[in-house]
Chains A and B, each alone.
Chain A
Amino acid sequence: MQKILEVNNLHVTFTTYGGTVQAVRGVDFHLNKGETLAIVGESGCGKSVTVNAVMRLIPNPPGKITKGKILFKDQDLTELKEKRMRAIRGVDISMIFQDPMTALNPTLTIGTQLKEGVKQHHSISDKEAEKRALEMMKLVGIPNPEERLKQYPHQFSGGMRQRIVIAIALICEPELLIADEPTTALDVTIQAQILELFEKIQKVTGISIILITHDLGVVAKIADRVAVMYAGKIIETGTKREIFYNPQHPYTKGLLHSVPRLDRKEKLQPIEGTPPDLFSPPLGCPFTARCPFAMEVCDKVYPKTVNQSDSHEVDCWLQDDRAKKLLTTAVKDK
């Protein structure tokens, strides 16, 4: 399979008055053509920063990509000049934001906002841009598009606005779509509709999608592969199946346990504690303080990445052969 995006050892920091926040601390992942990768994790773990870094939309100052490579079709985005990057944004890589209520400019018509992207990147007439805008409106399922194009964002519901945001993102036919919590601000029925729209669009255009979410239900619905992030690192990646049925990292397990289930009468098991302070992140595994299986080594050295299968990678000391022996004896003793 062809890799469309490969992120290697990405570090992003933010300089503040209180010190330097290491928001992303060495993230590696890749995305194949036509697949959907979900990045999950709790608030503040660096999901959004990671994808904003891919778009080079981290405000500098205070933010900065300090290390690492972002290879998009074998081109390192971190080295591109701002002007070259602008030619990629919206054309090759597009982004959708969390809150459709604020992502559209209240003073411009939907038509203007749809058309300006295509007009910026392709030298086409207003008429052609309008035609393209109408096609997009139809694709995302907005009724009477001709009339709707002349309206302003406040004349649309939240779900409709998110459809428009998606249409805007897709109008230049990008190869990669980054969706930063696209359904978080919507109610459940609209969420389902938007997710179906993503599936439909992927089928029609073959676009690759990076989906950021903390909703495992969303992941289960549309992701092909999942990357679990914690405290600025990706601690486990695998196919959806591997992550849901065979999670290896205690944090991933914890996440799955903390999803309420209707079919079982168990008490919900939250992950106790809070994530570490990223002003001074721990040397070892950042999850140590909350991990029920923590060992002495966890606190001191960050674990090596272990391959469970070709697609399944985990950063955890429990995967070490020595730990496995310990664990089996511990279980027997119980």
Chain B
Amino acid sequence: MFKYILKKLLMMLFTLWIIITLTFVLMLSVPGSPFNSESSSNEIVQQNLEKHYNLDQPIAVQYVLYLKSIITLEFGPSIKQPNQTVNDLLGRGFPISAELGLVTIIVALISGIAIGILAALRHNRIIDYIAMGIAVLGISIPNFILATLLIQQLAVNWSIFPVATWQGPLYMVLPVLALATGPMAIIARLTRSTMLEVLTQDYIKMAKAKGLAPWKIIVKHALRNALMPVITIMGTLLVGIMTGSFVIEQIFAIPGMGKYFVESINHRDFPVIMGTTVFYSSFLIIMLFLVDIAYGIIDPRIKVNKKEGEE
């Protein structure tokens, strides 16, 4: 198991390096520079600025400096807001984004699994049809449309929730709803279909023949097996929630990382692009790694196979 984790970690570092390099190449290939928009500055000022940020150096040197800044985790100050370093921005934005992301995942998981189980237990009855109808809607409506609809109805027309910004639990409701509906729908559909399959398995009948209570059969015997595919797609869902949060943070004016990420690209704010990209990708890679580990914990067969493969 230790050997397996070590191998995984090395692979993760390699993946990260590829992402970093690709970002670097893409960053350079985008036309324009951070100083383009400032029409007031004359050529000499611009050259001085470029020199200050090492943008006049050859590409290879820039790449090395860039790698160095990542390894030391010193991304330096933002070009657009020179009074703040990238680390400041991340430190401020990440807790907010993490909160949004975490609440979204928890809501999506709990409601998705609950709806899925309910639909499976009432297979081909009204509850099933309603649940799956909602799920299809949830999958097909893009989150930014859902977000605007929610703002229009619940915030503007009925004034139940605040329209935007991030100042407490009540402010979370709409952005989390907008962001969680898609993943929730996917989880619900998946849970339902695997649950239906698992419920016909012999070991469920065996559990019934033991005289176990129905909830025990569902939680202990069925759910654990039904959740394997859900865990498998958790990685993909995380990516979805993360990219979704870029848009949602914009719509709800949430001062999270997504906002900085999108703005930094618009402004060619190289240090911020770098910082946010590295941060997002390492976060994602770590999450995917955790999903892998969780998979092994839930299904004993997987862990053993890997052990056997190594030894």
Q: Residues on A close to B: CB < 8 A?
A: 55, 57, 86-91, 94-95, 97-99, 102-109, 116-117, 120-121, 152, 154-155, 165, 168-169
Contacts and interface: CB of A to CB of B under 8 A. Distances in A.
A90 B209 contact: yes
Contact of B209 (A89, A98, A121): A89
A94 B208 CA distance: 10
A57 B211 CA distance: 10
A99 B201 CA distance: 11
Interface of B: 201-203, 205-213, 216, 220-221, 224-225, 298-301, 304
B229 to A, nearest CB: 13
Contact of B301 (A55, A154, A168): A154
A117 B211 contact: yes
A97 B300 contact: no
Given A97-B202, A99-B202, A102-B202, A107 B210 contact: no
A107 B202 contact: no
B210 A120 contact: yes
Nearest to B305: A154
Given A152-B301, A154-B301, A106 B208 contact: no
A103 B203 contact: yes
B206 A152 contact: no
Given A106-B301, A107-B225, A154-B301, A88 B205 contact: no
7 contacts: A55-B209, A90-B212, A102-B202, A103-B205, A116-B210, A116-B212, A120-B210
A102 B203 contact: yes
Contacts of A117: 210-212
A88 B207 contact: no
B199 to A, nearest CB: 9
Contacts, number: 81
A165 B213 contact: no
B299 A107 contact: yes
Given A105-B225, A107-B300, A108-B220, A168 B210 contact: yes
Nearest to A107: B224
Contacts of A105: 203, 206-207, 221, 224-225
A94 B212 CA distance: 12
A155 B303 CA distance: 12
B203 A104 contact: yes
Contacts of A116: 210, 212, 216, 220
B301 A97 contact: no
A275 to B, nearest CB: 25
A106 B228 CA distance: 12
Nearest to A93: B209
Nearest to A87: B211
Contacts of B209: 55, 57, 89-90, 94-95, 97, 169
A155 B210 CA distance: 22
A120 B225 CA distance: 21
Contacts of A99: 202
A195 to B, nearest CB: 21
Contact of A154 (B207, B212, B298, B304): B304
Contacts of B221: 105, 108
Contacts of A121: 211
A48 to B, nearest CB: 11
A165 B225 CA distance: 19
A12 B218 CA distance: 26
Contacts of A103: 202-203, 205-206
Nearest to B301: A154
Nearest to B227: A107
Contact of A106 (B207, B220, B300): B300
A165 B220 CA distance: 18
A242 to B, nearest CB: 32
Nearest to A95: B209
Contacts of A87: 211
B225 A106 contact: yes
Contacts of A155: 304
B211 A86 contact: yes
Nearest to A101: B202
Contacts of B212: 86, 90, 116-117, 120
A104 B207 CA distance: 9
A171 to B, nearest CB: 9
Given A57-B209, A109-B300, 9 more contacts: A86-B211, A86-B213, A87-B211, A102-B203, A106-B301, A107-B224, A117-B212, A120-B216, A154-B301
Nearest to B203: A105
B299 A106 contact: yes
B243 to A, nearest CB: 32
Contacts of A169: 209
B299 A104 contact: no
A165 B206 contact: yes
B202 A90 contact: no
Contacts of A91: 211
Nearest to B221: A105
Nearest to B212: A120
A109 B224 CA distance: 13
A115 to B, nearest CB: 11
A90 B304 contact: no
7 A-B pairs with the lowest CB-CB distances in the bound complex, closest first: A89-B211, A90-B211, A102-B202, A90-B210, A95-B209, A117-B210, A105-B203
A95 B208 CA distance: 10
Nearest to A121: B211
Nearest to A104: B203
B210 A57 contact: no
A143 B266 CA distance: 69
Q: Which of B202, B224, B298, B299: most chain A Cβ within 10 A?
A: B202
A36 B124 CA distance: 41
